[in-house]
Amino acid sequence: SQKIEQNSEALNIQEGKTATLTCNYTNYSPAYLQWYRQDPGRGPVFLLLIRENEKEKRKERLKVTFDTTLKQSLFHITASQPADSATYLCALMNYGGSQGNLIFGKGTKLSVKP
């Protein structure tokens, strides 16, 4: 069956360290993968998109990698800050997916302690 899994429900790290979140998928052939941030009681906010032919994408302190052989994307936040505390969602669009609909993981709740 098709699955998209974010390995940790919660991740606690110390301020200044690098947070690494994982998104694994099975039985999908994603054309691209997206990462979103969601704060409590708010809608998700788009962060980064990476295509299947891209190995890595960066935006300020954020870095995303995409390994189609391992069927995995890693999301890194360097020099993490308490303000980075939120739930992070990965989402993919499958090749042949109807009308470009995204399939979302359940999210990883990141807590950055001062």
Partner 1 sequence: DGGITQSPKYLFRKEGQNVTLSCEQNLNHDAMYWYRQDPGQGLRLIYYSQIVNDFQKGDIAEGYSVSREKKESFPLTVTSAQKNPTAFYLCASAFRRQGAGNQPQHFGDGTRLSIL
Binding site for partner 1 (CB under 8 A): 4, 9, 31-32, 34, 41-46, 49, 51, 89, 91, 93, 98-107
Residue among 45 and 79 whose Cβ is closer to partner 1: 45
How many DSSP H helices and E strands does the chain contain? 0, 11
Return d(Cα 71, Cα 13) in angstroms, integer. 25
Nearer to partner 1, 51 or 55 (CB): 51
- CA-CA distance, 55 to 64, in Å (whole number)? 8
Cβ proximity to partner 1: between 51 and 113 the closer is 51
